[in-house]
Structure 1
C-alpha cells in the first residue's frame, strides 16, 4: 500500500453515506427492529473467511446487513427506558474522537483532549451549580459514574476511620454501612457490589419513590461506624427527586458521605423552571450522571463528580515510572476514572455544550419535561387510561385497568411500531412507562404517542 493510501477515504465516505441514510430514515421508519439477533447471527457469523475484504466493502456490508436489526433509538418517537438521541455537534465530534485516536489518559501526551475535557468538566459544574473545585471524570456511563463516586467515598470513609485501604484491602476493615432509598436504581446496588460493600439497607420511600428523611435518620441512628447514603435525582418510574436538603442534613448529622445518582435527573439543575427539584443537591459529596441521556451525546459519556479530589485520586489513581506527567497541570485524566486507556469521551460533551450554550441546555432539558407533561395530559384525557405518577420531570407511568390489559396494550404498541414504550412494574402494578429523553421529540411526536396509545387500547378492547 502506497504512503497515504490507507483505505480510509472510501471507507469513511461509505460510512458517512450510510450514517446519513440512517438518520434520514428516523422520521418514518418503524421504531422496533424487524429481525431478531438469532436471525442475524448467520449473516454476521460463520467461519472467519481466509481472505479479507476491502474496508469500504466491509462498511457497505455492515450497514446493509445490520439495518433490519437496528432499533430507531435516536427517533423522537422512542420513549423506552431512558435513552436520549445525539445532537449534531456531539455526533460529529465523536467521529473526530475516533479519527484522532487519542488515548486520553495522560495530559502530557494528549494536551488537546485533556484541555477540552477540563473545559467540559468546568461547564458541567457551572451548569449544575456544583462546587467549582470538584473533580470531574469522564467514564463509560451512569453505572461507572456511581461506582467512581462511591469508590471515592469508600476510600475517604475508611481513611477517616484510620484504615489504610490501599495497603490492607477490605478484609478486617471497619464495615461501611450503606443506605439507599427503596426505589433507587439497581445500578447503585451493582456499584456497591463491585466495591465489596455488600447489600445496602433500604430506607422507606413515599408514594412517588422519594426517600423519607425521618426514616433515614432512624436507620442511621440504629448503628455506628462509617456510613454512605445514596440519594436519587430522577426516579426511574415517577421521575421524582429525593428531598436533598432534608436528607443531606440528616446524613451530615451522622457523619455520612452522600452520593447522588443523577443518571438523567441531575440536568434538571440547568433549567430554571426545574431547578427547584435539585434544591440542596449541591451539598452532597459526589454525583453521577450520564450525558447520553438528558444532554443527548453518544454513548460512553458518563460523568463522575467528586467534591474531594484527594479522595477520588487516591481511589482511582496510580503512579508508574513509565507514565509521563504534566507538571504544570491539575493532574491526569486517568486519576479520576477506573481505567488508563480510554477514548476522549469528554469531547462530545464539550461539543454539545458549546453548540447549545447555557440557554440551549436549559431549553432542551425544559423541553423534555414539557413534552412529558403534554403526553401525560393527552393520555389522561383518554378513556380508561390512568396516569399513575405526579409528572414533574420526564417520566410518565400509565396503566389501563388490570395488569393483563396493560401488558396487552404495551405489546400492541410495540408490535405496531409507530412509537416504542417499555413495560415495567411499579407500585405492585404492571405499567407502560414513557420516558422523554430525546431532543427530537416535538409536538408532532407527542401527538403520535398519544394516538398510538389510543389506537392500541382500542385494538385490545375490540380483540
Structure 2
C-alpha cells in the first residue's frame, strides 16, 4: 500500500509538471516514434523496480514524444483538451477499477453513466428515453449504430438475424454522402458491407448532402433494407447536412437514418448555433464523441439509439450468470468488460451545467471565427470556407507551397494543424476544439502562419 501511494504521488507530480509546460512546449512532438522506441525500449528487465521509480522514469523518458494536445494551440484533427473535472474524474475511474457493464454489480458508476446519458439527450435535444451506449470513440459508435440499424431493418423484412445470420438475408443498402467521414466506410467493412453495397449521394460545395439528389436516388434503389447516413459537421468544412429536408425524404422510403455527429451534434447545446441541427432529432440513431467538443479524456464515444429495444435485440449476450436487471450497459454496446468511461462525461456536465456547455460551444465557434478573420488578413492565404462551427480550412495558391507550409508549422512548433485535400486541392485544416484556447493562442498561431508565409521565409 505504501508503494501504491508513492506511485500515485509520483504520477500526480509528473502530470502537474507536464501540464505546467503547455504554454511554452512545442505543440508537435520533438522526437520521432523510432527515437521514442529507442528511448523507452530495450530488453525486458530481468528484475523489476519500485513503482514510483518506474513512473518518474516513464515521465522523463516519454517527454520528448508527447504532443501538447491539452494546450490551447493544438488544432489538428478534431481533438479537444480535457476539462479539469473530467480529468480528475478519469483518475478516479482508474482508481475505482469498476467493471461497468453490469447494473447489478457496479451500481455507482452505472448510475453515473445513466444520468450522464439523460443529461446528454437533454443538452443535444434528442429523444428522451433513447439508449446511450458509452464506447471507445466515434468509430465504434458508428459501428454500433449501423449494427443496430441492420438488425432492426432485417427484422422489419421478416428476417431473424439472431437466428439465421446473414446467409441468405435480404440485401442491406447503405446510402452515404460524397463527403462522409471515413469511419462510416470502415464501420461498413466491420459489418461485412463493401463499396458495392453503398450508394453515394452528391453533396454541395461545402460537403452537405443534396436533398434533390437523395430524392432522385431512393426510388431507383433495388428492393433492399436501406440505411441513410447523414452528417453533423463535415470534418473539413464543418458543414451540417440539411436534416429537416433529408430525413423526411429518407423516412418516406422506409429508411433507417443514422447521423454521424462526432463533434457537430454539440452545436445543439447553443441557442446561437442550434439551427445547424434543426430536424436531427427525427433520425433513428446518432454518433457523438465527448473527447471532441465536450473536452473529456479519450475513450468516450456515445452510441445513441432512439428505441432501446433495437439496441438490446442486437447486443444482449445471454448467460444467466451475468445478472441481468432489465437494461444493462452491456445490452447496448459490444463490450461486456469495460472501464466506467461515462463518468468523466458526468463530471464535465456537472461542472459546466447547461450554461457552461453553451458557453463552451459558443467559445469554440467564436475562436474559429477569430482564426478565420486573421487568416483572411494574411497575404497569399485563401480561406476555403467560412466556419459554420469549429472547422477552418485554408490554402495557398500553390499545392506544394500549401503542403510545405503544413510541414513548416509543425516544425516551428507554435501550433499544430493538419493537411488534407479538398476538391482536388491541397488544404490545411484547423479544428478549434479545446476549452483552453484563448485569443492569445489564436493570435500566436496567426503570427506563426504569417511569419512562415512571408516572402523572406518562403
The alignment's TM-score, normalised by the length of structure 1, stands at: 0.97
Matches of 1:390 and 1:211, distance apart in 2:
18
Query: How far 1:462 sits from its partner (Å)?
Result: 4.0
Match for residue 40 of structure 1? 36
Match for residue 226 of structure 2? 227
Match for residue 147 of structure 2? 151
Match for residue 201 of structure 1? 199
User: 1:259-298, aligned counterparts within 5 Å?
Assistant: 259-298=258-297
Which secondary structure does the structure 1 equivalent of 2:71 belong to?
A: coil
Structure 1 runs (4+) greater than 6 angstroms displaced: none
Query: How far 1:6 sits from its partner (Å)?
Result: 5.6
User: 1:292-307, aligned counterparts within 5 Å?
Assistant: 292-307=291-306
Alpha-carbon displacement from aligned partner over 1:144-179 (angstroms, at most 9, x marks no partner): 111111111011000000111111111111011111
Identify the match of residue 345 of structure 1 among 341, 344, 349: 341
| Structure 2, gaps ≥5 residues long | none
Match for residue 255 of structure 2? 256
Match for residue 380 of structure 2? 384
Is residue 2:366 matched to residue 1:366? no
Alpha-carbon displacement from aligned partner over 1:4-26 (angstroms, at most 9, x marks no partner): x3621000000000000111111
User: 1:87-236, aligned counterparts within 5 Å?
Assistant: 87-199=83-195, 200-223=198-221, 224-236=223-235
Alpha-carbon displacement from aligned partner over 1:104-143 (angstroms, at most 9, x marks no partner): 0000100000110000000000000001011111000000
Matches of 2:446 and 2:219, distance apart in 1:
47
Matches of 2:193 and 2:152, distance apart in 1:
14
Matches of 1:219 and 1:26, distance apart in 2:
50
Matches of 1:6 and 1:249, distance apart in 2:
62
Contact between 2:27 and 2:413, CA under 8 Å: does it hold in 1? yes
Aligned alpha-carbon RMSD (Å): 1.0
Is residue 2:58 matched to residue 1:58? no
User: 1:434-445, aligned counterparts within 5 Å?
Assistant: 434-445=430-441
Which secondary structure does the structure 2 equivalent of 1:345 belong to?
A: coil
Query: How far 1:59 sits from its partner (Å)?
Result: 0.3
Matches of 2:143 and 2:341, distance apart in 1:
17
Question: Aligned pairs, how many?
Answer: 455
Contact between 1:208 and 1:390, CA under 8 Å: does it hold in 2? no
Which secondary structure does the structure 1 equivalent of 2:302 belong to?
A: strand
| Structure 1, gaps ≥5 residues long | none
